[in-house]
């Protein structure tokens, strides 16, 4: 009887719904051909007047665009996402959409109009519905593809392990959870077609399904039946779409079915539902500290614990949950053994490093053990012949870590110094071993291959130990020789070494006056262009000297190069630049602020520079800039009045919300806790709804002890409805 009543309600609702327009939603992160086909077909013929169209990816630089899209509360009947995919969607739009964010929104049920309401979701990117099985690409080849798409190494390595390895669930299962309750999810289980290729296929599909409104209406009725235990109505196949995309790696599935309350069938005994429930407990922040610790322990003790490692790792990082996990590990040594076992199951060396990082975070590995694994992985990538992808992997990894990675000649193949990509990779790593430096020096001196010889010379610029033979060779090569290309390479090496020898500056001046054509990095250029590009690395003595050379180079010199040169002069000379009436504030700050604020100097920075630092971020979309402001203010010797002034100035500036958020986590290190609390309370009072979560998160993660004055300052937050915040305030003694 209940079922009959339900079906009657669904049918009556559908009749009423049939007179309303449906919503076709798009996330166009890369190519727009797919969107154009849908818009054209859904606005003509039998579909005319039956659909409204919504592009969810904005044209502006809104950082949290997906959150804003969710808040629009649009009930999407159809969702089309087009973009590259490698664990996240990205593309020419400059925007990205992380799998983690999609899964979190779905778990929190705060984006149902996009994540659960659609009848169909098109995931038009490579591997969006891939399983764990290997396709025509190896794990290493897939890593190279991701790096070529400029995906950061950390994310790319994790993506490869999730695609092919034991850690985490497949992309297909991820999508089924993220789009729970969606009847039809379409994508590709390997390489997907480009936008201009799939365009004609989608046109053919729409010719087979001319009335798309009725097509979606039928799917909605089938969803209603499935929710009432008619499970044969779930996981139905779209045969028309499969025919249209038959020559591709097309795949289709359905979201995890969440049945009506009180019905039997799909239940907690279903593996998909259980997996969804276990992951969502962590993604949705619904657990107390004690509950989270117990839940993570239960997950790590499961036979399929590897499915949960990614989400557990995320949770530990976000919640600073290390101490609680240590308590679990001390009582259950089998967990440690299981995670260590995964190190040997990794599909790539970089994937092994990601697992090792997790083991380091959990203190399963100590720092020395991790560094040993790290070195062995890097050495394995340096085995000749080194591929372009291996070189990119090494360089990406080095750029993402603050610590040196030292390899010795005794660990490497003797032919390492005659392998081009190996020499490039060593340029990224730096050379700390004298025997290795001398092997590269031999190539630089005598090798007949010009391209290899020049790269060897450049790599000598990253020798990190004092070596008279290397320095002597570079200086000798800087003199006018019969081989101008080698001289250019030596100039690059000298600049990288920041050699203070007059011959580097003399070569720079010589190049500025030259129009001679040379080869550098495989491209034909001029000595003058090389000089202007490396201006930022030249050792100068004063701002006046800098002005002279900038005037000589004119518009040929890039702003970032001037910024680097200025930063290398130090704060005193930088302040002269700020005070120069011949340069406008915006130009003079914007093009050199980054380099100056990241400049590592023991010289004290004057407080008077603060207004210049803040002015540039009014309306600036570079939200990371306030990190640099915070680190710069940390180098100032400020009294109590000045610290209060800084907090007040920042709170009163017309910054974008994301800039205020960024500054929370990058507060000046020399500001005591009371100034941090003053900023947090000021931010909360500025907009309680916008900044509540940020203030709560900071207090939970960063405040460990407060005095009586600071407790009084925190009392206004006792009324905030946030269990994590209230738990932390209680720990701090705020009552």
Residue 144 shares a structural domain with residue 276:
no
Residue 225 shares a structural domain with residue 150:
no
DSSP H or E segment with residue 316: helix 309-319
Q: What is the pLDDT at residue 621?
A: 46
Q: What is the pLDDT at residue 15?
A: 41
Q: What is the pLDDT at residue 426?
A: 94
- CA-closest candidate to residue 42, choices 219, 214, 175, 265: 214
Q: What is the pLDDT at residue 331?
A: 80
Q: How many CB atoms lie within 10 A of CB 679?
A: 22
Residue 118 shares a structural domain with residue 221:
yes
Q: Is residue 535 part of a domain?
A: no
Q: What is the pLDDT at residue 415?
A: 93
Q: In this predicted model, what pLDDT tens digit does every residue of 627-685 receive, in sequence order? A: 567 767 777 788 899 899 888 888 887 777 777 777 777 778 788 899 889 988 988 88
Residue 258 shares a structural domain with residue 181:
yes
Q: Is residue 624 part of a domain?
A: no
Beta bridge partners of 52: 23
Q: What is the pLDDT at residue 265?
A: 47
DSSP H or E segment with residue 341: helix 333-343
- CA-closest candidate to residue 235, choices 171, 177, 184: 184
Residue 123 shares a structural domain with residue 217:
yes
Q: Is residue 490 part of a domain?
A: no
Q: What is the pLDDT at residue 148?
A: 63
In the numeric block, which tokens belong to residue 574? 């930088």
Structural domain containing residue 211: 21-131+170-286
DSSP H or E segment with residue 355: helix 349-361
In the numeric block, which tokens belong to residue 691? 């900044």
Residue where one domain finishes, among candidates 345, 365, 385: 365
Residue where one domain finishes, among candidates 322, 344, 365: 365
Q: Is residue 471 part of a domain?
A: no
Domain CATH number, residue 99: 3.40.50
Q: Is residue 92 part of a domain?
A: yes
Residue where one domain finishes, among candidates 269, 286, 303: 286
Residue 237 shares a structural domain with residue 196:
yes
| Positions in the chain whose pLDDT score sits under 70 | 1-19, 60-63, 86, 132-168, 229-233, 259-270, 320-324, 347, 389, 396, 400, 480-482, 498-501, 560, 583-604, 612-613, 615-628, 631
Q: Is residue 539 part of a domain?
A: no
Residue 37 shares a structural domain with residue 159:
no
**Could you tell me the pTM of the whole model?**
0.56
Question: Cβ contacts of residue 717 below 8 Å, gap of 6+?
Answer: 681, 684, 695, 696, 699, 725, 729, 734
Q: In residues, how long is the chain?
A: 735
Q: Is residue 720 part of a domain?
A: yes
What is the C-alpha to C-alpha distance for residues 676 and 659, in angstroms, rounded to an integer? 16
- HSE-CB at 391 with a 13 A cutoff on CA atoms is 16
Q: Is residue 565 part of a domain?
A: no
Residue 203 shares a structural domain with residue 351:
no
Residue 269 shares a structural domain with residue 315:
no
Q: Is the peptide bond before 385 cis (omega within 30 degrees of 0)?
A: yes
Q: Specify whether the CB–CB gap between 277 and 262 falls below 8 A.
A: no
Q: What is the pLDDT at residue 90?
A: 76
The count of structural domains within the chain is 3
Residue 230 shares a structural domain with residue 149:
no
- CA-closest candidate to residue 720, choices 686, 688, 677, 698: 688
First-last CA distance in the chain: 54
Residue 71 shares a structural domain with residue 190:
yes
Residue 53 shares a structural domain with residue 164:
no
């Amino acid at each position: 009887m209940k079922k009959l009543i339900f079906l009657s309600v669904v049918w009556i609702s559908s009749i009423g719904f049939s007179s309303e327009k449906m919503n076709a939603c798009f996330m166009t992160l890369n190519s727009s051909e797919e969107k154009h086909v849908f818009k054209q077909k859904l606005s003509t013929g039998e579909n005319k007047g039956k659909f409204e169209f919504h592009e969810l990816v904005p044209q502006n630089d809104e950082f949290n665009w997906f959150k804003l899209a969710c808040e629009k509360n649009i009930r999407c009947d159809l969702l089309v996402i087009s973009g590259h995919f490698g664990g996240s969607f990205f593309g020419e739009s400059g925007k990205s959409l992380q799998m983690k964010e999609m899964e979190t929104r779905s778990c929190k049920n705060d984006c149902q109009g996009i994540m659960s309401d659609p009848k169909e979701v098109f995931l038009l990117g490579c591997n969006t519905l891939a399983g764990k099985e290997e396709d025509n690409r190896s794990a290493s080849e897939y890593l190279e593809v991701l790096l070529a798409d400029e995906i950061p190494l950390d994310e790319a390595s994790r993506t490869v392990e999730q695609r092919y390895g034991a850690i985490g669930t497949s992309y297909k299962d991820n999508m089924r959870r993220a789009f729970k309750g969606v009847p039809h999810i379409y994508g590709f289980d390997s390489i997907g077609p480009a936008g201009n290729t799939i365009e004609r296929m989608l046109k053919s599909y729409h010719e087979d399904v001319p009335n798309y409104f009725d097509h979606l209406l039928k799917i909605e009725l089938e969803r209603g039946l499935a929710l009432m235990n008619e499970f044969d109505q779930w996981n139905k196949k779209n045969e028309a779409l499969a025919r249209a995309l038959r020559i591709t790696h097309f795949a289709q599935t359905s979201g995890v079915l969440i049945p009506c309350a009180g019905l039997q069938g799909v239940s907690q005994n279903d593996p998909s539902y259980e997996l969804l429930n276990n992951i969502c407990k962590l993604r949705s922040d619904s657990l107390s500290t004690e509950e989270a610790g117990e839940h993570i322990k239960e997950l790590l003790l499961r036979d399929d614990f590897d499915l949960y490692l990614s989400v557990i790792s995320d949770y530990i990082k976000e919640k600073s949950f290390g101490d609680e996990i240590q308590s679990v590990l001390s009582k259950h040594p089998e967990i440690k053994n299981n995670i260590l076992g995964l190190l040997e199951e990794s599909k790539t060396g970089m994937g092994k490093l990601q697992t090792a990082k997790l083991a380091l975070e959990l203190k399963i590995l100590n720092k020395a053990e991790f560094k040993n694994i790290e070195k062995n992985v890097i050495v394995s990538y340096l085995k000749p012949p080194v591929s372009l992808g291996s070189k990119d992997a090494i360089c990406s990894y080095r750029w993402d870590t603050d610590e040196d990675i030292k390899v010795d000649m005794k660990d490497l193949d003797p032919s390492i110094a005659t392998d081009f990509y190996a020499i490039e990779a060593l340029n990224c790593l730096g050379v700390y071993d004298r025997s290795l430096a001398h092997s590269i020096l031999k190539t630089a001196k005598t090798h007949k291959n010009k391209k290899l010889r020049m790269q060897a010379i450049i790599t000598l610029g990253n020798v990190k130990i004092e070596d008279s033979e290397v320095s002597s060779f570079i200086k000798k090569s800087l003199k006018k020789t019969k081989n101008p290309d080698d001289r250019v390479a030596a100039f690059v090496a000298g600049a990288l070494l920041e050699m203070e020898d007059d011959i580097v500056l003399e070569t720079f001046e010589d190049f500025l006056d030259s129009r001679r054509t040379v080869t550098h990095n495989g491209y034909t250029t001029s000595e003058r262009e090389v000089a202007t590009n490396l201006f930022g690395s030249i050792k100068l003595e004063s701002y006046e000297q800098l002005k002279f050379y900038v005037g000589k180079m004119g518009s040929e010199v890039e702003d970032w190069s001037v910024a680097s040169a200025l930063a290398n002069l130090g704060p005193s000379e930088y302040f002269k630049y700020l005070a120069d009436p011949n340069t406008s504030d915006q130009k003079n700050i914007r093009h050199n602020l980054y380099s100056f604020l990241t400049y590592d100097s023991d010289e004290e920075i004057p407080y008077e520079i603060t207004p210049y630092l803040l002015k540039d971020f009014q309306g600036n979309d570079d939200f990371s800039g306030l990190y640099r402001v915070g680190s710069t203010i940390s180098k100032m010797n400020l009294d109590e009045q000045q610290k209060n002034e800084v907090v007040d100035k920042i709170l009163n500036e017309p910054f974008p919300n994301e800039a205020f958020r960024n500054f929370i986590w990058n507060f000046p290190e020399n500001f005591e806790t009371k100034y941090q609390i003053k900023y947090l309370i000021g931010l909360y009072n500025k907009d309680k709804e916008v900044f509540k979560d940020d203030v709560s998160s900071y207090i939970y993660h960063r405040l460990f002890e407060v005095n009586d004055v600071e407790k009084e300052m925190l009392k206004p937050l006792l009324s905030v409805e946030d269990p994590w915040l209230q738990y932390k305030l209680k720990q701090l003694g705020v009552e």
